[in-house]
Chain A
Amino acid sequence: MGLIHQHPILEFRHAKEITFSFDGRELKGFEGEPIAAALHANGVRIYRITPERKEPRGFFCAIGKCSSCFMIVDGVPNVRTCVTPLKAGMEVRTQHGRGVVPLVEG
C-alpha cells in the first residue's frame, strides 16, 4: 500500500502530517483527509467485523453511503470513516458488531 510518490499527471499536496491511533497502534496520516484513506495508506484494510457472521468489512464506496467502513472513533461507533476528517490524536478502533453509543452525562 502506501502513498503514490510519482504520478504522470497529478501532484499531491498533502496537509500537515499528524499522528493518530488505530487499535492502540500509533499511525501517521494527514490532517483533514478521510480516516479511511489514512488507514489504507498504512496498509489497514479491515475496518469492522459484522455483528452476526463476524466477517471483516473494509473500504467500499468512499462517499459515506454504504456503511462498510463504520468504525469507533473517539469512543463513538458507526462513524463513516470514509467521509470523516482525520484529526491529530484521534483514537480509531475496529468496530466489532453494532457498537454501543456512549450516553452523554448530565
Chain B
Amino acid sequence: MKTTEVLVIGGGPAGLSAALEAASRGSQVTLVDSDLQLGGQLIKQTHKFFGSEDERAGTRGYKIGELLFKELEGLKDCIDVHVNTTVLGYYKEDGVVSLSRGEEDYFRIKPERIVMSTGAMERLIPFPKNDLPGVYGAGAVQTLMNVYGVTPGKRVLMIGAGNIGLIVSYQLMQAGVDVAAVVEFMPKIGGYWVHAAKIRRLGVPILLRHTIVEALGEDVVSGAVIQAVGDKGLEGDPVRIDCDIICLAVGLTPTAELLWQAGCDMQFVPELCGYVPRRDAHMRTSQSHIWVAGDAAGIEEASSAMVEGRLAGLGAARSLGHVKDSDYDAGLASYWQRLSHLRAGEVGEKIRSGLEKCSCDAWEV
C-alpha cells in the first residue's frame, strides 16, 4: 500500500496552499483532487481578488492559481499529485484512505497526517421544476464558461445576490451572456457592495425581497416565474422572465463527509453554513492527525482559504518534526495576523461569530 507523510484531500485554494506549505517545510506530500485539474474554484475566477499584497490583491483569481501551480512545479519532487481521483472513504480503524482514479482504478493510501480541504457543495432551494435541465449551480456555470470556454446559455436568471451570484453575473456578461436579473430574498445584497455596483451600472436589475416561484419549460428551462416577498409571504403579481438558464447561487455548505467518517468532533454553525469540525488554533481537528482548511472548515472567501491551508500545512509539517519551534511560532503568528485582517470587516463579522463557536486554543491532551 502507498504511504505518505501528509495526504491533502482536495486541491482547491486551501489544499494547494496546504500542500505547498507542508512540502516547502520538508514534508513528503500526496495531493489528490476529484476534478480533472487542480485549482478548485480558484481557476474559475476572472475577477481581481481583494485583500492586501500578502493575498496578491489586485490579481485575478485564475492568475493566483497559476502562481500556485508554478510554486507546485518547483516542489514537484516533494508533492505527488493525483487528479481525477476521488477519496471514497476513510477507515478510522487502521487510518487507511481508499480512493478511485476515474470510475474504476481503485487504490489505497496510508497517510501519517491528513489535511481535509474538501471544499463545499452548492445548496439548492425548493421550487417546482428546480430539477429541470437548465437549472444550474453557479459553480457549474463558471466551470462551463471559464474553464472549458462553453457558452452556458443565452439569457440567465441569477438567484442569489451573495458574492457568488454577483460575480458570476458579471462573468456571464463577459462571456457574452445576458443576465435578465438577480433575484435576492433578503432586503440587502449579501455580497460586497462594489460587486453589485459593477453589474448594476451595466444594467442588470437586482431585485431585493424577491424569490423564484417556479421554473418554466417542458424538457429544458424556457423561463422562470418570480415574485416579491413581504412579511406575510409572497405578494404582488408573479412575473414571468424569459431565460434559458436559471443559475442558483443560494449558498454553499461544507463538504464534511470525510470529517464525519474520521470521527472529528463536528458542530453545526449556521454562520459557517453547516456542520464543521471543531478546530484548534493550528487548524487541527479533534483527531490529532487530521487538519482542516478552506470551505470544509466553514464557508468563507478563497483568500482566507489559502491562509488556512498554509496554517494546516505548517501544523502538519511541524507534527512530523520538520519545523523548528521558533519557525513555527513565527509562521503561526503571521498567518493568524493575515486571517484576522481578512475577517475584520463588515462582511467578516458573520465569520468571526461563527468561528467563536467551533474554535479552541488547543486540544486537551
Direct touching of A and B (C-beta under 8 Å): yes
State A34–B84 Cα separation when bound (angstroms): 11
Q: Which of A33, A61, A85 contacts B139 (CB 8 A)?
A: A61
Tell me the dominant secondary structure on chain B's binding face: loop
User: Is B131 a contact partner of A2 (Cβ separation < 8 A)?
Assistant: no
CA distance A45 to B153 in the complex (A): 10
Interface residues of A in 41-80 (CB under 8 A from B): 41, 45-47, 55-66, 68, 76, 79-80
Given contacts A76-B103, A83-B84, contact A40 B150 (CB under 8 A): yes
Q: Which residues of A contact B131 (CB under 8 A)?
A: 55, 57, 68
Is A32 part of the binding interface, using a Cβ–Cβ cutoff of 8 Å? Answer: yes
The total of interchain contacts (Cβ-Cβ below 8 angstroms) comes to 106
How far apart are the CA atoms of A7 and B137 in the complex, in Å?
A: 22
Find A83's partner among B36, B132, B133, B175 (CB 8 Å cutoff): B36
Residue tally, chain B, CB below 8 Å to A: 37
> Are A59 and B151 in touch, CB under 8 angstroms?
no
Which of B67-75, B141-149, B204-212 is the contact stretch?
A: B141-149
A76 nearest CB across to chain B (Å): 7
Which residues 305-331 of B have a CB within 8 angstroms of A? none
Is the beta-carbon distance between A45 and B220 smaller than 8 angstroms?
yes
Q: Choose from B122, B148, B151 the contact partner of A1 (Cβ within 8 Å).
A: B151
Q: Are B36 and A46 in contact (CB under 8 A)?
A: no
Contact among B46, B136, B145, B175 for A60, CB-based, below 8 A? B136
- Are the CB atoms of A10 and B46 closer together than 8 Å? yes
Min CB–CB distance A37 → chain B (angstroms): 4
Q: Are B150 and A6 in contact (CB under 8 A)?
A: no
Q: What would be 29 A-B contacts, judged by CB atoms less than 8 Å apart?
A: A1-B151, A4-B149, A4-B151, A4-B176, A7-B174, A9-B46, A33-B36, A33-B148, A40-B144, A40-B150, A41-B150, A45-B133, A46-B220, A55-B131, A56-B220, A58-B133, A59-B140, A59-B144, A60-B135, A60-B140, A61-B121, A61-B122, A62-B137, A63-B35, A65-B255, A68-B131, A76-B103, A79-B103, A80-B103
* A12-51 Cβ-contact flags toward B at 8 Å (1 or 0): 1010000000000000000011100100110001110000
Contact of B144 among A9, A37, A76 (CB under 8 A): A37
Name which residue of chain A comes closest to B150, CB basis: A41
Q: Is B143 touching A37 in the complex (CB atoms < 8 A)? A: yes
